[in-house]
């Protein structure tokens, strides 16, 4: 069976169009892989040499170069590394800010007067004004009254009754002002933390 020259020309034109489209697609794919590699390596490192090397690897070797790049590229992006570092720093700050009892080393709140586990005094109340003070303070910064027996807290054994049942720390007028401050006005309440 013989093929007519018109049919042969049509087949050749169709093959040329298919080859041209395939070649155009492969060229576009190759260029897009190079661009993607450049953007990806820029998001993973600031090293110019590594960026240039990765881009040239894909530019010269095409898909095998891309596979090599995917194997050798840094595992995390710069933003991921920054976020991880922020999370670690926040966790470390949280750990550092937690107070511990000097005697039993258990975690306590900053405003605890006694350790709930071993009953070691952590802070004391001023006998004059009733505000909470650090054990090492020798004078009350709120009322100026001298304090007796400034210690570290680990030296004292059991809590005194005054720690558990303190005198009223404020008079009624101060308590109302501290509990219900007028909007826009400053309260006379002072924080009991140091």
In the chain, count H helices and then E strands: 6, 4
pLDDT of the residue at 48:
96
Contact 53, 44 (CB under 8 A): no
**Distance from chain centroid for Cα 135:** 33
pLDDT single digits (tens) 35-76: 999 999 999 999 999 999 999 999 999 999 999 999 999 999
What residues of the chain score a pLDDT lower than 50? 150-165, 168, 172, 174-194
Residue ranges of the domains in the chain?
5-79, 98-180
DSSP symbol at 129? T
pLDDT of the residue at 149:
59
| pTM exceeds 0.85 | no
């Amino acid at each position: 069976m013989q093929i007519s020259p018109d049919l042969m020309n049509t087949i050749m034109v169709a093959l040329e169009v298919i080859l041209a489209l395939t070649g155009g697609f492969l060229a576009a794919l190759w260029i897009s892989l190079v661009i993607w590699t450049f953007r990806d390596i820029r998001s993973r490192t600031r090293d110019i040499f590594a960026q240039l090397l990765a881009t040239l690897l894909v530019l010269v070797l095409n898909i095998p170069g891309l596979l090599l790049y995917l194997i050798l590229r840094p595992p995390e992006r710069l933003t991921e590394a920054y976020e991880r570092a922020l999370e670690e720093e926040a966790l470390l700050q949280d750990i550092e800010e937690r107070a511990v009892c000097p005697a039993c080393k258990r975690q306590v709140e900053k405003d605890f007067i006694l350790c709930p586990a071993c009953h070691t005094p952590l802070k004391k109340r001023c006998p004059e004004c009733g505000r909470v003070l650090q054990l090492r303070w020798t004078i009350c910064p709120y009322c100026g009254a001298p304090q007796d027996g400034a210690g570290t807290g680990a030296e004292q054994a059991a809590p005194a009754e005054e720690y558990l049942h303190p005198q009223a720390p404020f008079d009624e007028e101060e308590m109302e002002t501290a509990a219900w401050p007028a909007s826009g006005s400053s309260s006379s309440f002072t924080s009991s933390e140091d």
